[in-house]
């Protein structure tokens, strides 16, 4: 006789999703804020072009989690499309875009102020001339807005077909323009330069040492990223419609394995590439995120209740038992206020990276002194750089923990 495991009735949030999102946000803060960009361990770097490092997983994991949360949110209204809901989706998406622009504006203005530029240049002319229109926050805002609207228009039962159509369209565009290399002929570079302008996009250096205007969060690569968030919504449908906990785990693991296999097969024709957000990259990262979500569901909803029934006797067992029961709360702190904590970390590093002072005729920023004056002498170049990043993670956790304890959820 098999035993059916059902989730606790009182739980209003999907805990495994909060933990996966928390792990992702902590990872984003860590990889985006080393003590020195010149001294980084290999796994904490992005792939130069094709390929995927652990660092290349954090952004797509967050987009995937956004899709799962999107399904859970709209499921409450039975995916009813109306102008009030559409307006709410659009306003939230635009708000996230504006937050990204505000942070970019703040960073440029603060740098000009430190350099002693005049007021108009500091506040207006320089940021206007150099503002990067697309980036992490603008991409999150755009894909959440368009993905949310598509989810309501086509409903969950058709959303996988919509996602597949978007990826197919992007693959066709790549094929007919032969856009697989980082060069001036790449369709994404051409489109971004034409639509946004050279001063408003990111620049990357290719293998030949050429500096190319190419934005990894560019216009065309937004197409597969929308497909990415819709796959997350589809995964939300797949697991939330299953009442049995073991069924949730099995569905997430099976779907994740299938997506990874398809992604690795597609890699031969359309290489795994974060900068272009290739279709193979979408499938592999969504597949891996699904598998991790399934594993976390097993750990938190099946294994954890079993641990609560165990009574440890020795001191060692008690320590192990306490860690096993409470480890996830560190990441839950990030997961319940993800965008706010990430936004706060970005603002904080921009600020302390520009506040400068002099020690023994050497100029430092606060962040630079923390690395060069404290962490680097203790732990070396790369070790100190990683320690700086981890210290920021801990600082953001301490702020997030206050909100977590008070049950304050800041929705962006």
pLDDT per position in the chain (412 positions), as tens? 334 444 444 345 688 999 999 999 999 999 999 999 999 999 999 999 999 999 999 999 999 999 999 999 999 888 999 999 999 999 999 999 999 999 999 999 999 998 888 888 889 999 999 999 999 999 999 999 999 999 999 999 999 999 999 999 999 999 999 999 999 999 999 999 999 999 999 999 988 889 999 999 999 999 999 999 999 999 999 999 888 889 999 999 999 999 999 999 999 999 999 999 999 999 999 999 999 999 999 999 888 877 777 777 777 766 766 777 788 899 999 999 999 999 999 999 999 999 888 887 788 899 999 999 999 999 999 999 999 999 999 999 999 999 999 999 988 7
| 236-253: burial string, b at 16+ Cβ within 10 Å, e else | bbbbbeeeebbebbbbbb
Torsion over CA: 152, 219, 349, 391 (sign)? positive
pLDDT value of residue 13 = 64
In SS3 terms, 49-101 reads as CCECCCHHHHHHHHHHHHHHHHHHHHHCCCCCCCHHHHHHHHHHHHHHHHHHH
The answer to whether 110 and 184 are in contact (CB under 8 A) is no
The 3-state DSSP composition of the chain as helix, strand, coil percent (nearest 5) reads 70, 5, 25
Structure confidence by residue, pLDDT tens digits, 154-166? 999 999 999 999 9
- State the number of CA atoms in the 13 A half-sphere of 46 facing the CB: 18
d(C-alpha 283, C-alpha 262), whole Å: 7
Residue 211 β-bridge partners: 205
Q: Please state, as a whole number, how many other Cβ atoms lie within 10 Å of the Cβ of residue 384.
A: 22
d(C-alpha 65, C-alpha 390), whole Å: 23
Q: 3-state class of 45 per DSSP?
A: coil
Tokens (6 digits) for 292 = 């991790």
pLDDT value of residue 207 = 87
d(C-alpha 195, C-alpha 233), whole Å: 30
Q: 3-state class of 205 per DSSP?
A: strand
d(C-alpha 295, C-alpha 354), whole Å: 42
Helix (H) or strand (E) holding 164: helix 156-177
- Structural domain boundaries of the chain? 12-45+315-412, 51-306
Identify which of 223, 238, 204 has the alpha carbon closest to the alpha carbon of residue 281: 223
Helix axes 222-240, 245-266, angle to 10 degrees: 150
| Residues 6 or more apart in contact with residue 315 via CB below 8 angstroms | none
């Amino acid at each position: 006789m098999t035993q059916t495991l059902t989730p606790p009735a009182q739980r209003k949030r999907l805990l495994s999703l909060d933990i996966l999102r928390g792990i992702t946000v902590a990872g984003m803060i860590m990889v985006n804020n080393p003590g020195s960009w010149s001294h980084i361990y290999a796994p904490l770097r992005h792939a130069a072009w094709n390929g995927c490092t652990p660092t290349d997983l954090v952004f797509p994991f967050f987009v995937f989690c956004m899709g799962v949360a999107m399904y859970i949110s709209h499921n409450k209204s039975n995916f009813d499309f109306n102008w009030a809901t559409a307006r709410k989706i659009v306003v939230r998406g635009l708000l996230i875009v504006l937050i990204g622009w505000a942070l970019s504006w703040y960073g440029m203005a603060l740098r000009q102020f430190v350099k002693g530029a005049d007021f108009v240049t500091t506040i207006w002319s320089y940021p206007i001339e150099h503002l990067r229109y697309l980036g992490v926050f603008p991409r999150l805002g755009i894909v959440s807005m368009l993905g949310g609207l598509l989810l309501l228009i086509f409903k969950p039962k058709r959303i996988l077909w919509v996602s597949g159509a978007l990826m197919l369209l992007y693959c066709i565009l790549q094929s007919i323009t032969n856009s697989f290399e980082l060069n001036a002929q790449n369709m994404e570079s051409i489109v971004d330069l034409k639509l946004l302008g050279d001063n408003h996009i990111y620049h990357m250096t290719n293998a030949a040492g050429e500096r190319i205007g190419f934005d990894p969060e560019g216009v065309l690569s937004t197409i597969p990223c929308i497909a990415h968030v819709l796959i997350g919504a589809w995964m939300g449908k797949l697991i939330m419609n299953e009442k049995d906990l073991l069924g949730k785990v099995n569905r997430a693991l099976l779907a994740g394995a299938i997506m990874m296999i398809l992604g690795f097969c597609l890699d031969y024709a359309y290489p795994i590439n974060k900068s272009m957000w290739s279709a193979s990259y979408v499938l592999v990262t969504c597949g891996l995120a699904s598998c991790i979500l399934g594993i976390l569901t097993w750990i938190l909803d099946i294994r954890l209740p079993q641990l609560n029934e165990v009574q440890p006797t020795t001191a060692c067992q008690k320590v192990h038992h306490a860690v096993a029961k409470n480890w996830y709360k560190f990441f839950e702190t990030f997961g319940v206020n993800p965008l706010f904590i990430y936004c706060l970390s970005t603002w904080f590093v921009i600020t302390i990276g520009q506040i400068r002072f002099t020690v023994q005729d050497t100029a430092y920023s606060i962040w630079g002194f923390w690395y060069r004056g404290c962490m680097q002498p203790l732990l070396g170049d790369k070790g100190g750089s990683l320690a700086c990043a981890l210290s920021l993670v801990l600082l953001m956790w301490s702020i997030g923990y206050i909100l977590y304890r008070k049950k304050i959820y800041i929705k962006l």
